[in-house]
Structures are given as C-alpha cells and as structure tokens.
Structure 1
Amino acid sequence: MFYAGDITLPGRPLMEQTPDKRAGDAERSHALDRLGQYFADGYLDITEFDERTGKAAVARTQGELEALFADLPEQQDPQVFTAPVPRSEVSAQRELDEVLSRGKKLQRIDGAIWAIVLILFFLGTFVFSVGFAWVLFPLGAFASWGARSALDVGDEDEELIEELRSKEREERAERLRRAAERRRELGQ
C-alpha cells in the first residue's frame, strides 16, 4: 500500500495532500528519485522503470503519483532485514564480509608497499646513483606476499574479490547510465 506521506514535502501538512491536488515539479522529482531507488533495489525491471518514470514526469495530480507506488513495498532502511535469514546464510555472509574486509586491507597495504618501492627505486637510481636499486622490486614482491600471508588472503579469495568488485562496478555503471539517460529523455 502506498502512503501519501511518502511524497510529503517538508513544511507541507499531510492533510493538504489529497489525490485530486495538483502535483508540482518537486513532487514529480521526488517520485522520480524514489522510482530510481526501487529500480536500484531490484523491485522494478527496466521496462517498468521506463514506464513509471515516464508517467511520473507528466503526472498532474498527487493521485497519479500515488498510483505509481501502489504495488511497491514501503522503502525501508537498507540495514533492516524484513525476513529471518537462515543461520548458514548469515555465517556465509559474515565470512564473505570478512574476506572483503581483508581484501580492502590488502589493497591498501599493497598500494603502500609498491608506492614506497617505486619512490625508493627512483631515489636510489636517479638521486643517489645506487647500482643495486633493482633489489627493491624483489623485496616489494616479498613484502606483498607477506601481507597476503598475514591477512590470510589466498588466490581464490583474490579472484572472488575481484569478480565481485568488477560485477558491482558494471551493475552500478549500468544503473547510473540508464538513470541518466532516462533523465535526459524526460528533460529533467
């Protein structure tokens, strides 16, 4: 069920909002933002998103806007879970979160290691004319291997992390591209 309060504007009493009242640009824009969120959360497919955003852009009354959300659930805080999650799924999610966390730490450590190696190499080679500055590269590789061992990140973990990040970047880019394209079509 849709609640009229979902399109309430700050400082505007709820009793003023009735289905027959005219909708303005602010209400239409808010409806477009909400539809974008439902699309991003997977409640709408691309066809439904296109159809509903088109209707939202030309809606004349608040009732027309309300009708766009009639079959959608209330938007909730993404941190709130509405259905109980099986214990095995919770532990798998925890394990995945730990792997991703270790992956982020490893990425930062690797960045620092290789930045230091490159700085010392260029300083040693070009400033101090040290002939064996190349030794820093095997030392950097050893330090990078040590970081992986210390954080317990294996090859499979790195492949999984990269796969998830790549998929996430692609999905986000597609959603943003599609939303931007739709906004241009609607002249917003």
Structure 2
Amino acid sequence: MLCARGRAYAGAYTETMDGNPNQRIGDVERSQALDKLGLYFADGYLDIEEFDTRTGAAAIARTAGDIDVLFSDLPEQPSTAITPVHDDADKELDLVLQRGKKLQRIDSAIWSVVMVAFFLGLFVLHVPYFWVVFIIGGAASAGARFLLKVDDADEKLFEELHEQEQSEREARLRIAAKRRRELEQ
C-alpha cells in the first residue's frame, strides 16, 4: 500500500490502473516515477545510494506493483502541510534569495566596470590616481547593499544556500548523466 505522498506522486498512473499491481506500465509511467523519486531526493528523503537504487529499479519496472514498492516507505511531502508560520518564513527566505541574486548581479556589474576603468586609467589614459576606482567600487557595492537592505547575515545565508544548491545540482546532474549512460547501453 502506498503512503499519502506516494499516492499523490504515483497516483497519476496507478489509479488509472484500477489498483492492479500486475498491470504493465510503459515509458511514461517509468519517467513519472523517476521524476517523483527526484523530488524525494531533492527533499532529502533519499540519500544518493537509495536514489540510485530506486531510480535503477524504476527504469526497468514492468508493472504498477514494481513502481508502487518504490514509494511504499516514503512519508508525505512536508510542503503539503505548510502552516502559516512556515509560509511567512518561506516568503522571507524567498525575499532574501531574490535580494541576494540581485546583489550578485549588481556586484558583478560594478566590479566589471571598476576593472575596465582601472585598466583604461592605468594603461590607456595614464591617469595618475587610477587606483581610486577601487574605492569607488567599494562604495558602490556598499551602497547597493544599503539600498537592497542586505545585511551580513542575509548575505551569509544567501551564500550558504547558493553553495548548497550548486552542490545538490552537481550531484543530481552526475546521477542523471550516469542514469542516461546506463539507459543508452
């Protein structure tokens, strides 16, 4: 029997099969199961080894029962039972992420202009005080943080989340590449 989350994820194809675990499935159902397992992996319910094992089983599944067993021990998705308190925290976190991404783009633009101005001042225009552009760049970066209301704690949180996203994305891409190579053989 599937848990509620498993039913929610697997329900799209198992409910249409009249609950017959021996009914054959096709590529569409296997692909849906792989997508759902990816969600569990992203939510932290599966580690890399479990994800690898279950996606391998989903890729060669032949019946609805083969798919059902992959979701039988997984809990409901936490985001389906969000309370208003969590909703506010999620909105605040989204705001921090948005501001962090804006700040990242602004800093990139500022320091690109600073570097161009530095090299132009130093090598082309022969300006005697070419190093002043670094002070201006620092002031512009500080001003951007002030205008976007990004403090040190927000910036640190954004950097941690960004690094975590990057490492999770890298792990998912490695697994997907491995899975693709296995399916192509």
Q: TM-score, normalising length from structure 1?
A: 0.71
Partner of 1:118: 115
8 A Cα contact 1:24 1:60, kept in partner: yes
Q: How many residues align?
A: 178
2:158 to 156, 161, 172: 161
The reply to whether residue 59 of structure 1 matches residue 65 of structure 2 is no
State the Cα distance separating 1:173 from its structure 2 match: 1.9
Matched residue type, 2:155: E
SS in 1 for 2:131: helix
Counterpart of 2:122 in structure 1: which amino acid?
T
**Any idea what SS the aligned residue of 2:44 has?**
coil
| Partner residue of 2:143 out of 146, 149, 158 | 146
Deviation at 1:106, TM superposition (A): 1.6
- Letter matched to residue 152 of structure 2: D
In the TM superposition, residue 17 of structure 1 has moved relative to its aligned partner by 10
List runs of 5+ in structure 1 lacking aligned partners: 9-13
Matched residues in 2 for 1:116 and 1:46: separation? 42
Q: Which sits farther off after the overlay, 107-116 or 18-27?
A: 18-27
**Which amino acid letter does the alignment assign opposite residue 140 of structure 2?**
A
Gaps of 5+ in 2: none
Whole-Å separation in 2 of the counterparts to 1:131 and 1:95: 47
Deviations 1:113-150 (A, max 9, x none): 11112222222333333222222111111111222222
1:82 aligns with 2:84: no
Does structure 2 conserve the Cα–Cα contact (< 8 Å) formed by 1:21 and 1:62? yes
Aligned CA RMSD, in angstroms, stands at: 3.3
- Rate the CA distance shift 1:187–1:73 in 2: closer, same or farther, 3 A: farther
Identity of aligned residues (%): 59
TM-score (norm. length: structure 2): 0.72
Once the two structures are overlaid, the 10-residue window that deviates more, 114-123 or 65-74, is: 65-74
Cα distance, 1:113–1:6 mapped onto 2, change above 3 Å? same
User: How much does 1:165 deviate?
Assistant: 1.4
- Please state if 1:49 is matched with 2:55: no
1:59-81 per-position Cα deviation (integer Å, ceiling 9, x unaligned): 23343234433455788xxxx94
Higher share of residues assigned helix: 2
Is the Cα contact below 8 Å between 1:54 and 1:186 reproduced in 2?
Answer: no
